[in-house]
Amino acid sequence: MISRGAFLALTLAASATVRARAAPGSSDADPALSANTQELRVLLGRGTVTGSSPDGFTFNERAYRGSATPLADGTIVNTLPLEAYLYSVVPREMTPSWPPAALQAQAVCARTYVLARSNPQRAYDVVPSELDQVYAGIASETPAGRAAVDSTSAQVLRFGDGFARVMYSSCCGGHTESSTGAWGGVPIPYLSGIVCTTCTDSPYYRWNRALDLGAVAQVFASELQPVAPLQAVQQGVADASGRASDFVLHGAHGDVPIKGGAFRLRIGTRVLPSLLITQFEPSTEAPERIAIEGGGLGHGVGLCQWGARGRALEGASFTDILHFYFPGTEIEHD
């Protein structure tokens, strides 16, 4: 499982992906992209390359598979087979001791995500951070991660003629979010939000937090400037999954609405692990403090990773898991 900070970034990346990607059947279906033959280009950034050999190289004292090529601006791009890239990604995006079927579902998600991102027109395909997927070279590989990649070799999630738009996050809290609820846009049939009963083992399945009005006033100082001082914060309506669509900052001289996703990211994902909020009220002990109860960690769209773990423990295969979280998609050899 990736960290809370990682999920913040992943949320941003996923959001951008939803908005930027073409509809299934257009550029997503580029026949030149194949999981079997694809070489992926990862932008490592600035640093020192040493010890290059046919097997790999060392960049900033970390070992990588594939080759290192400098771009014109001096940054280094790591080119390697897609499947080798996934060896490093899967154990970083999901706890490698989890059941094989959950890791296999993660591998198919990670492969599909990156194939849909690949673009020969750009100097690189992905960055190695949460903005795309976490990639840290050979050191993060594990036998279980490699087994998950090898046993699902070249398998991707498709919808219609194109790659499915794959999203995942740590724990949905009991109901996954729709893509439209999280980011707006055109509804995506397989990302419409479903009941998930198997993520209850997550430490974030239910949580309590406290938020000081002063902290809210500081974060939204520019928006509040015309109506200050801030007097109260209210959770707005919930969407179909139960997540807060917006919040209202009540100032002495008027109200300021803030979209739910923006509110969570700016307040911080440590304070608001998700927008699935069941209570948002002034604390009985300290009225300037808001007592919050909620569930889940992350945006909640697509695969619920803790839910996938739970389903795997119940005996589900990775195809069962993927069909459950992305209903109507097909798992195919690319």
**CB of residue 42 vs Zn ion: minimum separation in angstroms?**
30
Q: Which is closer to Zn ion, CB of 144 or CB of 301?
A: 301
Span interacting with Zn ion, options 102-110, 184-192, 197-205, 287-295, rule CB under 5 A: 197-205
Q: Does residue 196 interact with Zn ion by CB under 5 A? A: yes
Smaller CB separation from Zn ion, 117 or 243? 243
Count of residues interacting with Zn ion (CB under 5 A): 5
- The CB-of-164 to Zn ion minimum distance in angstroms stands at 19
Binding to Zn ion by residue 304, rule CB under 5 A? yes
Measured CA to CA, the distance from residue 192 to residue 183 in angstroms comes to: 12
- Name 16's Cβ contacts closer than 8 Å, sequence gap at least 6: none
- Residue 263, C-beta contacts closer than 8 angstroms, at least 6 positions apart: 244, 246, 247, 272
Binder among 172, 277, 301, 321 for Zn ion (CB under 5 A): 172
Residue 171 makes CB contacts below 8 A (sequence gap 6+) with 199, 202, 204, 205, 274, 295, 296, 297, 298, 304, 305, 306, 307
* Residue 104 three-state SS: helix
Residues forming a β-bridge with 332: 156
Asked whether position 249 contacts Zn ion by CB under 5 A, the answer is: no
CB of 324 to Zn ion, least distance (A): 10
Among 44, 108, 110, 199, the residue binding Zn ion under the rule CB under 5 A is 199
Binding to Zn ion by residue 297, rule CB under 5 A?
A: no
Nearest distance, CB of residue 295 and Zn ion, angstroms: 9
From 159-167, 196-204, 214-222, 312-320, span contacting Zn ion (CB under 5 A): 196-204
C-alpha dihedral (158, 315, 295, 20), degrees to nearest 10: -10
How far, CA to CA in Å, does 312 sit from each of 148, 223, 295, 306, 317? Answer: 13, 46, 21, 10, 6
Considering only 307, 312, 316, 325, the residue that binds Zn ion (CB under 5 A) is 307
Residue 198 C-beta: closest distance to Zn ion, Å: 6
* CB-CB neighbours of 242 under 10 Å: 20
Distance between CA atoms of 125 and 122, rounded to whole angstroms?
Answer: 7
Largest CA distance in the chain: 67
CB of 299 to Zn ion, least distance (A): 12
Smallest gap from residue 329 Cβ to Zn ion (A): 18
- Site pattern 36..75 for Zn ion (x: CB under 5 A): ----------------------------------------
Of 10, 106, 3, which Cα lies nearest the Cα of 300?
Answer: 10
Residues that bind Zn ion (CB under 5 A): 172, 196, 199, 304, 307
